[in-house]
Amino acid sequence: MSLNRYYHIYCPEGVVSKYSLLVIDPDEETFLPLTDFYSDLLGRVGNKTALSYLTSMESFFSWLDKYGKYQEQQVKWNDPPERIREVVQDYLYSELSCKVMDKDNYRLVNLTNKSPNTVMRSLSAIKAFYKSMIRLKSYPYPNPLLYIENVLRELEEPVEGVRKDKPRLPAAAGTEVPIHQHRRLTDSYFKVVNEEWVPLIIGDWDLPFKVYNAGKAIGWTLRDEIVTRLLFETGARVTEILELTFGDYRM
Label the pairing between strands 106-110 and 190-192: parallel
Q: Is residue 16 part of a domain?
A: yes
Q: Is residue 179 part of a domain?
A: no
Q: Is residue 153 part of a domain?
A: no
pLDDT for 199: 63
Domain identity same for 137 and 212: no
pLDDT for 197: 58
pLDDT for 105: 79
Q: Is residue 159 part of a domain?
A: no
Domain identity same for 138 and 17: yes
Per-residue model confidence as pLDDT tens for the chain (251 residues): 445 699 999 998 888 889 999 999 999 999 999 999 999 999 899 999 999 999 999 999 999 999 999 999 999 999 999 999 999 999 999 999 999 998 877 899 999 988 998 999 999 999 999 999 999 999 999 999 997 655 445 444 455 555 666 666 666 555 666 655 444 456 789 999 887 655 666 778 888 889 999 999 999 999 889 889 998 888 888 888 888 888 888 88
100/106 Cα distance (integer angstroms) = 10
Domain identity same for 137 and 219: no
pLDDT for 184: 46
Burial 201-211 (b: 16+ CB within 10 A, else e): eeeeeeeeeeb
Phi (first) and psi of residue 157, to 5 degrees: -70, 125
| Cα 130 to Cα 118, 184, 222, distances in angstroms | 19, 24, 43
Domain identity same for 135 and 18: yes
Domain identity same for 34 and 142: yes
Phi (first) and psi of residue 178, to 5 degrees: -55, 140
Q: Is residue 76 part of a domain?
A: yes
Which pairs count as long-range contacts for 17-26, CB under 8 Å and 24+ apart, including other chains? 23/54, 23/58, 25/61, 26/62, 26/65
Q: Is residue 41 part of a domain?
A: yes
Domain identity same for 31 and 132: yes
Residue 174's contacts (CB-CB under 8 Å, 6 or more residues apart) are none
Length reported for the chain: 251
Residue 190's beta-bridge partner residues? 107
Domain identity same for 136 and 223: no
pLDDT for 236: 85
Q: Is residue 245 part of a domain?
A: yes
pLDDT for 101: 92
183/179 Cα distance (integer angstroms) = 7
Domain identity same for 120 and 228: no
Picking from 19, 21, 23, 29, the residue whose alpha carbon sits closest to that of residue 7 is: 23
Q: Cβ distance 185 to 103 under 8 Å?
A: no
Q: Is residue 42 part of a domain?
A: yes
232/235 Cα distance (integer angstroms) = 6
pLDDT for 178: 60
Domain residues for 229? Answer: 207-250
Domain identity same for 141 and 215: no
Q: Where are the beta strands (DSSP E) in the chain?
A: 7-10, 21-24, 69-70, 73-74, 99-103, 106-110, 190-192
Number of domains in the chain: 2
168/160 Cα distance (integer angstroms) = 7
